[in-house]
Amino acid sequence: MKTIHSDSAAGAAPDVITLERVSFGYDPEHPILHNLSLSIPRGQWVSIVGPNGCGKSTLVKLLNALLPKSDGEITVYGHRLEEETIQDIRRCIGMVFQNPDNQFIGATVEEDIVFGLEGLCLPYAEMEERLQAISAKLGIGHLLEKHPGELSGGQKQRVAIASILAMKPGIVIFDEASSMLDEGSRNELMEILQGMRAEGNYTILMITHDADEILASDRVLALHGGGLAADVTPAELFLDEELLRKCHLREPYPWRLARELQKQGIPAEVPASEKELIDRLWPSNFSK
């Protein structure tokens, strides 16, 4: 198995998630995850990748006991996952799903955000403060009075993220959160994620097939056949054709183009833009 270089891990930050020999399956004969061990330090942005059915969603659902592990030890923020600690652990983890419609509860955006805060039994003033702060940060202040049904796909996902972040979880899990979004909304989501990383308060776990999202993250955990197939940096993943094939992934278009050019015998680095490609291939001793 490939492992990530230690210098690319987030310094000496303590681990917030540890799995030791964790297994899960509906049927003991066909375990979905088998004997999985890994740890994730605080503040890291981790992509979880792999083919459909390899257990990505299962893995993140085990962390907060949405699914019961069959075997092994899970530790989140120092709490060993047990019947008594489930509530403490769930407070540390926020989840954003594929389809934001599945997580709307309130009749307005404001109610939806406040619903989660009420669950934390916060004083009224604190709820109000968090509501204002998060809606300013995510630019949804003008949507607070709206019904979730009136929002576009991208706005819905933004609201879903706001209602999760308002609860101040240390760990935020995105389960293919961009897969239903159009490209504009996907770019908005990336900006939110980059803002979250810059803030440094969040450990981000992102289940994704999207090459650009993977590229933006710090570390890639590739699941395959119920286990960990690789633990690498995004660049290492995209340069490894065999691993890409195994994980059912494709590299970003400019990376693929660079590889295809190399196959044609044209030395090419990954271009940052189409202009850069042209300028490199044909240094302009002539121009239109």
Q: How far is the CB of 149 from another protein (least distance, A)?
A: 5
Residues present in the chain in total: 288
73 vs 212, beta carbon nearer another protein: 212
DSSP three-state, residue 108: coil
Min CB(53)–another protein separation in Å: 3
Angle, CA 226 vertex, CA 170 and CA 42 arms, to 5°: 20
Alpha-carbon dihedral sign for residues 46, 235, 53, 185:
positive
Reduced to 3 DSSP states, what percent helix, strand and coil does the chain have, rounded to the nearest 5?
45, 20, 35
Does position 6 bind another protein by CB under 8 A?
no
Binding piece for another protein, criterion CB under 8 A, among 72-80, 81-89, 104-112, 174-182: 174-182
> Could you say whether residue 261 binds another protein (CB under 8 A)?
yes
Which residues are paired to 173 by β-bridges?
Answer: 95, 205
- Residues 60/252, Cβ–Cβ less than 8 Å: no
Residue whose entry in the numeric block shows the structure tokens 């916060």: 122
Query: Binding marks (x or -) toward another protein, 125..164, rule CB under 8 A?
Result: ----------------------x-xx-xxx----------
Is 199 near another protein (CB under 8 A)?
Answer: no
Restricting to residues 14-73, name those near another protein by CB under 8 A: 26, 50-54, 57
8-16, 114-122, 128-136, 256-264 -> range binding another protein (CB under 8 A)? 256-264
Whose tokens are 């066909």? That residue is: 30
Q: Is 265 left (phi over 0), alpha (psi -120 to 50) or beta?
A: left
CB-wise, 147 or 168, nearer to another protein?
A: 147
Closest CA to 112 of 88, 134, 87, 91: 134
Residue 256 as a binder of another protein (CB under 8 A): the answer is yes
Q: Binding marks (x or -) toward another protein, 78..117, rule CB under 8 A?
A: --------------------xx------------------
Does position 179 interact with another protein (CB under 8 A)? The reply is: yes
What is the Cα–Cα distance from 241 to 169, expressed in whole angstroms? Answer: 36
What string of DSSP letters covers 187-251?
HHHHHHHHHHHHHT--EEEEE---HHHHHHSSEEEEEETTEEEEEE-HHHHHH-HHHHHHTT---
Cβ proximity to another protein, 47 vs 75, nearer residue: 47
**Looking at 34, 42, 69, 209, which residue binds another protein (CB under 8 A)?**
209
Q: Pattern 235-254, binding to another protein, x per CB under 8 A?
A: ----------x-xxxx-xxx
Residues interacting with another protein, by CB under 8 A? 26, 50-54, 57, 98-99, 147, 149-150, 152-154, 176, 179-185, 187, 209, 211, 245, 247-250, 252-254, 256-257, 259-261, 263-266, 274-275, 277-278, 281-282, 285-288
